[in-house]
Chains A and B, each alone.
Chain A
Amino acid sequence: MRDPLGVQALRPWLRLLGEHRRRLWGGAGLLALTLGAAIGLLALAGWFITASALTGLAMAAGLAASLDVHLPGGGIRAFAITRTVARYLERLYNHDTVLRLLADLRGRLFAVLSRLDARTLAQQRASDWLTRLIADIDTLDGLYLRLLAPPLVALGLIGLLAAFVALWVPAAGGLLGAGLLLAWLWLTAGQARLGLAASRGRVAQRQRLRSLAVEHLQGLAELEAHGVTGRHRQRLAACEARLQADQRRLARYTALGTSLVGLGVGLAMLATLWLAAAAWQRGEIAGAVMVMLPLAVLALGEALALLPGAFTQLGATRAAAERLNGLAEAGKGAATGGTEPLPGGAPSLTLGGVCLHYPGALQPALEAVSLSLGAGERLAVTGASGAGKSSLAALLSRQLAPDAGTIHFNEVALPAIDEGALRTQVALLGQRVDLFQGSLAENLRIADPGADDASLGRALDWVGLGEWGESLPHGMATPVGEGGRALSGGQARRLALARLWLRDPGLVLLDEPFADLDTATVERLVPRLDTWLAGRTVVYLLHRLDDGPASPPGVTHRAHLVAGQLTHFAPGCTIGQDEG
């Protein structure tokens, strides 16, 4: 294996960090200054004490000896102050750097996510994809401060220290450099290799435990009724045991690395002392220097202390990076559209042999669906849930690409249409209404960023929420969405209709437009909707179509979907138009 640690997966993220290269080097420099000053402080203090002692002994023996105390004294003060100030600046500067990286990382990832198609996005509703996504982003946030700066600084300090020792005792410097380099390699690559399986396993086991816990909670009723709660608890316990086994292995490896730092630095100090003492006895160096060298090595421990903990967990960081890379890959495959314009006004619509098969599904979602609809006509597609209506809506709004078959708007193939033109001309009211954290006005302006307050008010009036909007103490500024005012299902749906009204699309796809609305509201809405839909091509997707006053207005064609197949497509009589 050429890349046993899988560092390749981190590449795109390292490149992202690279955009802040100057800051990264600045932060690493401050870190090196802090740790370097600590080494210098202890080494110089050792030299000073020894020199003082030797001078004192000489003076006591009546020899003429003197020691300049000002220079070392000043040096000691300088190192002490440098260490304190550099630490403070380093914390502040690196924190700022990490936050800058965090903003970049989130921005970059959001751009990646915004290219995902409906199929991938739909996963988020089936699983705890979002929780994992956030966990992965958080993991990568620590890339610089855990995995990049500390090993680089440690390596630099090892080189400097070895060179410094070599200045006095070349053999000791060489040996020290080689020994510490080996230790550094073990503490980074070795620890990473050691913890790879366990740290990846831990992520997987935690994921498994979490889905088992979700299943347990969803099945509480069945489990209690059938009296088998205990059995399912055993499954949970077994999974927890596997998770803890991985956690224990990781803890053991980390503890091993931490202990090795102390042992390795200690032995390096001892070897340096031996060689320095030998050099001193040969008269090559002064006694105070002999003390200074091992003490400098001893102080290096701090620079290595954090490496094992970070690198034993490399597998988890790598797994997070791989998952996010996978998302970026998935985003690349999504349809981004061509350059063909789609002129305003109602388009005609042709589907030829459209097939759609979700991976892992037993049956295709849509099978050989063909139909054509003239400009300004209104088609009602009925079918049970799961029959393929929402898939059809996703295809027509180019959130998904069909596995086979073609879709044309105005004789232009759908994939060739320019993205901006498509989004302007095609509007979809889906089954799910997404409300964002923010004010009522902000939520409406998703549809039209330039809309003024008056037109937002007219949009609310149009869906019959005008009075409600005015009754709110904060009016249009009322926060909605998560953490804001909870809207009822019916209010949310009407808000979504108001968003639709703020636009001027040629093709309108309405997936269960009246779900969650009571009959009286629907009856008020139908004529307004009918007027607004005039001159647009419309596809309704409905559970069932009954010809009452609350049914969608102006249906000209009907189709029925059963298990992904169009069983019936025919022009139907105009129904549900009470008022023209």
Chain B
Amino acid sequence: MAGDGESRRWLAAQAAAQRGWLRLAVLSGLLASLLTIAQLGLLAWILSQLLVEGSALDSLGGAFLAVAGCLALRALAQWGQEMAGQEASERVRRRVRTELLDHLAALGPVRAGAHHPGGVASQLVEQVDALDGYVARFLPHCYLALAGPLTILAVVAWLDWLAAAFLLLAAPLIPLFMALVGAGAERVNREQFAAVTRLSSHFLDRVRGMTTLQLFGRTADATREVYTAADHYRRLSLRPLRLAFLSSAVLEFFASVAIAVVAIYVGFGLLGYIDYGPSPELTLFSGLLVLLLAPEFFQPLRSLAQHYHDRAAAIGAAQGMLALLAEPARPRHQRQGPAPRGDARVELVGVALNHPGRGRVLGPLDIRVAPGETLVITGPSGAGKSSLLQLLAGFVAPDSGVRRALPGLRLAWLDQRPWLVQGSLAENLRLTAPSASDAQLVVALERVGLGEMLAGLPEGLATPLGERGVGLSGGQAQRLAVARLFLSDADLVLLDEPTASLDEASEAKVVAALQALAVDGPSLVIATHHPALMRLATRHRVIEAGHFVAAPAGEASDA
């Protein structure tokens, strides 16, 4: 996990890239503040004209219109502030998503695939969106909380320096209050977040095991437990919150006291009870305006407090994303690699692979894949078959040695989990062969023995497949994935235990399909322990504890 400081720096850098829009948001906010001052000034002037100068109401129509104009313009400025912030936030989020996806691609299928897809997807979607409030609202309000009060202070000082001094007394306290508010709000958020997370995880844990609870007849107890856990959390959280909520009370206090002090001061000044300083010069106009501006002095700070939780959410999200971004990517040259010697499609020379925590899992070893051959790799589970295939594909970079691949080598990959997406049968087939025609799709399905199933579907190729291919049996899904291999004109097809989870009938169909595929000319490398697949081999290598060992008697071995 990245530290707080690092996350803040990263967030600041992301925001800095959208400086223009953020500036526009701050400027719009400032404009809204100025218009508020103008509107309040006009209001005080109208009241003073009426009460002190004795002007007729009708003669003040222009001033009323001016106030209305100020109101309209201020509404526009507020709107502009929010939209500019929104634009900045959208751009930041698009950029971060792109950066994360680029990094996942650079990590490669093996390293990136080691993460739980749901967890990474939540980073890509929800966590990236958690930056929204921080960029769109918190950052602009941060500047406005400084600039807004200073502007108002200047106006009040011009009206009555003693009243300004009251506000100024509070001014040095502002950074202090910001820290206080920040710490308070942050603490509330941290407490709430941690506790709600704990509660959610408790709740989820029980929901996940619901079948077991049902079977043991324990759902009533578990329901009580869920309620008790939530209620227990309530009791625990109230004590720290008692303190944390003081921060909102403090802001309310200053906003109230500012009005009260200014009102008493101005009132007594106007009554002539105060002879000190500028008090004798107070008029109804300046007195009312000072009063109306006093709450506005604290308003930006209160807005900031409202958006403080956005900051905590963004920092939390950034920590997770930084942890992912900090994982080292595959070196680029390993993915491209030099050309192999001779006519080999791909070649590994002296490669070795280490796993953190497990030490060396493979090699050092050499292997070449010749054109048109079907190379079967067998060995006990955990011997390194999958790692070897991943190295051949370039999905992981070897810790030593090199991978050489034919320039422009077209690869195809299939493992024991067929990759299916929400979408139609045709869309699933076209995932890896975007330009294949309908006729080609039908032929591919027929070659894997799915022609009969297709014929039985009223919607044919347009039949939707549910999430994770619901509706297809495991064998059908795997054969669909094999059909994709027929559609790709790959030079090298890598198959990692393609029949591991299939019943015998489905296995036989997949084997037959692969046999047909081999005739087409691509090189096949199959890691398996199923005898039916082994029979496809034109060459057979056995791997044990990360090294090739002698192939069973009577079979050709690699030179």
Contact = CB atoms under 8 A, between A and B. Distances in A.
Contacts of B295: 42
A525 interface: no
A270 B50 contact: no
Contacts of B76: 259
A435 B208 CA distance: 9
Contact of A41 (B75, B132, B242, B256): B256
Contact of A222 (B199, B413, B422): B413
A171 interface: no
A126 B223 contact: no
A87 B252 contact: yes
Interface in B107-146: 108-109, 112-113, 115, 117-118, 120-122, 124-126, 129, 132, 136
A274 B68 CA distance: 12
Kindly state the interface size class of chain A when it binds its partner.
35 or more
B288 A258 contact: no
Residue picked from B56, B245, B484, most chain A C-beta under 10 Å? B245
Given A76-B264, A221-B395, A263-B71, A384 B252 contact: no
Contact of B226 (A57, A106, A295): A106
A435 B212 CA distance: 9
A128 interface: yes
A78 to B, nearest CB: 10
A248 B270 contact: no
Contact of A384 (B94, B490, B504): B504
B210 A482 contact: no
A233 B196 CA distance: 34
A211 B422 contact: yes
Contact of A48 (B43, B72, B267): B267
Contact of B422 (A121, A215, A240): A215
Interface string A28-68: 00000010011001101110111111111101100000010
A224 B230 CA distance: 46
Contacts of A446: 212-213, 216, 218
Contacts of A214: 117-118, 121
A552 B86 CA distance: 64
A255 B252 contact: no
Contact of A113 (B125, B210, B230): B210
Contacts of B413: 221-222, 224-226
B434 interface: yes
B415 A103 contact: no
Contact of B419 (A72, A218, A361, A420): A218
A49 B90 contact: no
Contact of A240 (B97, B206, B288, B414): B97
A393 B257 CA distance: 71
Contacts of B118: 128, 131, 214
Contact of B417 (A52, A102, A218): A218
Contact of B474 (A227, A260, A386): A386
Interface in A443-460: 446-447, 449
A504 to B, nearest CB: 13
Contacts of A113: 207, 210
A427 interface: yes
Contact of B207 (A124, A386, A437): A124
Interface stretch (A13-21, A155-163, A286-294): A286-294
B259 A110 contact: no
Interface stretch (A89-97, A174-182, A342-350, A512-520): A89-97
A211 B121 CA distance: 8
Given A52-B266, A95-B241, A110-B223, A259 B79 contact: yes
A434 B291 contact: no
Nearest to B241: A95
Contacts of A432: 211
A423 B234 contact: no
Given A220-B105, A360-B471, 7 more contacts: A91-B248, A102-B230, A138-B196, A226-B413, A263-B74, A274-B64, A424-B217
Nearest first, the 3 closest Cβ-Cβ pairs linking A and B are A384-B503, A423-B217, A434-B209
22 contacts: A49-B284, A50-B288, A51-B267, A52-B266, A59-B272, A69-B268, A116-B210, A121-B211, A214-B121, A219-B431, A220-B109, A224-B108, A227-B410, A227-B411, A232-B431, A248-B86, A251-B136, A259-B79, A361-B471, A384-B506, A385-B474, A423-B214
